[in-house]
Amino acid sequence: MLEKFLNIFRIKDLRTRIGFTLGLLAVYRLGAHIPTPGIDAARLAELFSGAAGSALGLLDLFNGGNLRKFTVFALGIMPYITASIIFQLLTVIYEPLAKLQKEGELGRRKITQWTRYVTVLLAIIQSFFIGLTLTSQQVTTMNKWSFIPLCVITLTCGTAFIMWLGEQITERGVGNGMSLLIFTGIVVGIPSGIAQLYQKMQSGAWGGLTPIVIIVLLALMVAVVAFIVYVERSERRIPIQSAKRMVGRRAVEGSSSFLPLKVNSGGVMPVIFAASILSAPMLLQQLTLFGQPLRDNKYLEPIFRNLAPAEPGYELLYMAAIIFFAYFYISIIFRPDDIADNMRKYGSFIPGIRPGKRTSDFINDVLTRITLVGALYLIIISLIPQLITSGIHLNHLPLIGSFFDRMPSWVTNGLGFTFYFGGTSLLIVVGVAMDTVQQVEAQLIMRHYDGFTPKSGRIKGRRSW
């Protein structure tokens, strides 16, 4: 295994790409220590003290702790993700944009350029409302009209710079830049997560059962990682038969292969999209309208209360959003009609299925079934930490809530244990790590080196540098 790892550094181009990626990630982490001017750090810490399991805490997780410390990168990549969601929705419902996307590289570049503009616009709007909220919460050391313009300029520039970093990593580095930025923000919390676990063990947080609880939690984390790796590598293989055909003057014999369809083709994106959408009520209730916070409005207060994390309404919408975005994402990246047309052009077919529309319908049916399995897998992974930390407040349900009140408190309120690597963070870390390793392995195999997985590559790695 060590020999396979050293092969990375024997390829100059791959070595340069990895060094470039690590350098830009270091720049990103450097920005996490530059605070936005005019912030009262003590008051801000109080505001975030109870946000560990909330949507605000999840946003802080995606931003690598930058929101909690309110650094110049406080908005993180969430405006870019929101802009991407907007344009991906528009490509489905707006025909001119769908045609532009099919124009190839030129069309994609134009859509990317528009996404950047919308990202900056969203960053300006979000930073304005964040500045307005912080001044109303008396978290700033400056007056309102001095702090808000400074907040807008600082956070918007920080978001634009992060967007540039992500695009540079994707283009000139290794892996997906935006995913790696989220990955980095989560991984840097490993030392604090280990320290927290050690403190719980030292203080005996659960009395005599503390060692057993710690062991069970660690075993659960290992099981979740194994489950994530297993499902992420799972795929449905559709057999494909190629007919005998003439290529120039040479006859090419028919062959058999397969079309691999991943169970979770959307990866972690449905979870990120769902969290991004459901964070809106959490942020909106902090706003002040006519001198009164929106959360105190008699009409909006019940809505905000039912859409708080761990409430049944929030969890139900969260699960529905994951299922929706799982299907939505696969509809964008996978087009059965195009696959069926390409198969017909090259004389390929699925045994027992007619070429053309029948093939397209068959592939679509298979995708529909396995995408539902992938969405349910994402829901399970996302709800595991929720059940452990704060549970789901089923006792707040109308009519049947009294039944859950008679059950043990840990069923509805969880164990009260905030473990750093929850299901969402584990899913992101494992998923991004696997994708990055696969890209590195593809670069090795392309140059006839051994990859990391068994039976990968064709020629042993050379021993000379």
All domains of the chain, ordered by start, with CATH?
14-186 (1.10.3370.10), 234-419 (1.10.3370.10)
Q: What are phi and psi of 137, to 5 degrees?
A: -85, 0
Q: Residue 169: its pLDDT value, please?
A: 92
Q: What is the pLDDT of residue 251?
A: 60
The CB-based long-range contact list for 243-252 (8 Å cut-off, 24+ gap) reads 243/347, 243/348, 243/349, 245/346, 245/347
Name the one residue in this structure whose structure tokens are 């994106």: 269
Encoded amino acid at 55, one letter: A
This prediction has a pTM of 0.76
339 DSSP β-pair partners: none
pLDDT at 443: 78
What per-residue confidence (pLDDT) applies to 459?
Answer: 42
The pLDDT of residue 75: 85
For 392, residues 6+ apart whose C-beta sits below 8 A from its C-beta are 310, 311, 312, 315, 383, 386, 412
Mean pLDDT by 10 residues, the chain (465 residues): 72 87 91 84 70 53 67 85 82 80 80 91 88 78 86 92 92 87 81 77 75 81 84 88 66 74 84 78 66 70 77 86 89 83 84 88 92 91 75 76 71 62 72 82 74 52 40
pLDDT at 214: 80
